[in-house]
C-alpha cells in the first residue's frame, strides 16, 4: 500500500481544546496531514470503535490512511489501513499474521537493539521515539536527539518518522537528519487553527526535503 509519512498526526482528545476530535482531524487533513493515527488510552472499546469508525469514514474521502494505535481488534473491526505498535504491545510477527500483508504496520523504536530487530522484519515504517522529551507521552525512553535521528535513519532499512516534542521550531532539523516525516500531537491538536498549523508544518517538511535532495545531487 502506498502511503506518505511526511506529516503524521497522532490524536489526543485531551489536547483538542474541547473541540470534537473529528473536526480537528478534518481541518488538519485539509492543511496537509498525510496520515492519521488514532490513539486512545482513556476510553472503553465501544467508544474507541465508534471514534475509529467515524474517522475511517471521514479519511476515506481524503484518501488519508487511518492507523490505529495498539489495538489490533479495533483496526480489524473498522478495517483501518494499519496499526502502530510499541515495544510492549503485540509482537510484530503476530500482528502481521493477524492483520495481513496488505495493511500498514508501524513500530516504535527506542534503541539500537530494537532497530536491528526491526531490520529483520518487513515493517512498513518505524517511529523514532522520542526525539525530544514530551509531556504528551510520559512512558518513553531517553530522548534520541537530532544526533540519534541521524544515526538511526542511516542504520534503518525502513522509512521513519520522528515523534516526541516535534514542532515548528525543530521540524527542519529532524527532516534534515534523515527522517521521512514528522509525527506530531500538540503541534496540531492544541493549535487554535489546525489547518494552518498543518499547512505550516507541511511547508517546512517539503522545503527541507527539497534542500536535502539538492544537496545530494
The answer to whether position 1 is within a domain reads no
Residue-number span of the structural domain to which 55 is assigned: 7-216
The answer to whether position 129 is within a domain reads yes
Specify the number of domains making up the chain.
1
Per-residue model confidence as pLDDT tens for the chain (217 residues) = 789 999 999 999 999 999 999 999 999 999 999 999 999 989 999 999 999 999 999 999 999 999 999 999 999 999 999 999 999 999 999 999 999 999 999 999 999 999 999 999 999 999 999 999 876 566 668 999 999 999 999 999 999 999 999 999 999 999 999 999 999 999 999 999 999 999 999 999 999 999 999 988 6
The answer to whether position 20 is within a domain reads yes
The answer to whether position 167 is within a domain reads yes
Cβ partners under 8 Å of residue 22, min gap 6: 51, 54, 55, 58
Burial 119-131 (b: 16+ CB within 10 A, else e): eebebbbbbbbbb
Chain position carrying cell 516504535: 108
Catalytic residues: 39, 108, 137
Q: pTM of the predicted model, to two decimals?
A: 0.96
Q: Is the link from the previous residue into 162 a cis peptide, with omega within 30 of 0? A: no
pLDDT at 93: 97
Which 8-state DSSP code applies to residue 156?
-
Of the candidates 159, 136, 139, the one whose C-alpha atom is nearest the C-alpha of residue 149 is 159
Cell numbers found for residue 49: 470503535
The answer to whether position 2 is within a domain reads no
Chain position carrying cell 503541534: 187
pLDDT at 139: 62
CATH number of the domain bearing residue 202: 3.20.20.70
The answer to whether position 118 is within a domain reads yes
Amino acid at each position: 500500500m502506498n502511503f506518505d509519512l511526511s506529516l503524521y498526526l497522532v490524536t489526543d482528545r485531551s489536547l483538542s481544546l474541547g473541540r470534537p476530535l473529528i473536526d480537528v482531524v478534518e481541518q488538519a487533513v485539509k492543511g496537509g496531514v498525510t496520515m492519521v493515527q488514532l490513539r486512545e488510552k482513556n476510553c472503553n472499546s465501544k467508544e474507541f470503535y465508534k471514534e475509529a469508525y467515524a474517522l475511517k469514514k471521514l479519511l476515506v474521502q481524503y484518501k488519508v490512511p487511518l492507523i490505529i494505535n495498539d489495538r489490533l481488534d479495533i483496526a480489524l473491526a473498522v478495517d483501518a489501513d494499519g496499526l502502530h505498535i510499541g515495544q510492549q504491545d503485540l509482537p510484530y510477527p503476530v500482528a502481521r499474521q493477524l492483520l495481513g500483508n496488505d495493511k500498514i504496520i508501524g513500530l516504535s523504536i527506542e534503541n539500537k537493539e530494537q532497530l536491528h530487530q526491526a531490520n529483520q522484519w518487513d515493517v512498513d515504517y518505524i517511529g523514532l521515539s522520542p526525539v525530544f522529551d514530551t509531556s504528551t507521552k510520559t512512558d518513553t525512553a531517553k530522548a534520541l536527539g537530532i544526533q540519534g535521528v541521524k544515526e538511526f535513519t542511516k542504520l534503518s532499512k525502513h522509512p521513519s518518522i520522528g515523534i516526541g516534542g516535534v514542532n515548528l521550531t525543530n521540524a527542519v532539523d529532524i527532516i534534515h537528519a534523515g527522517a521521512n516525516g514528522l509525527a506530531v500531537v500538540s503541534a496540531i491538536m492544541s493549535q487554535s487553527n489546525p489547518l494552518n498549523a498543518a499547512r505550516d508544518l507541511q511547508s517546512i517538511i517539503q522545503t527541507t526535503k527539497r534542500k536535502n535532495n539538492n544537496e545530494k545531487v
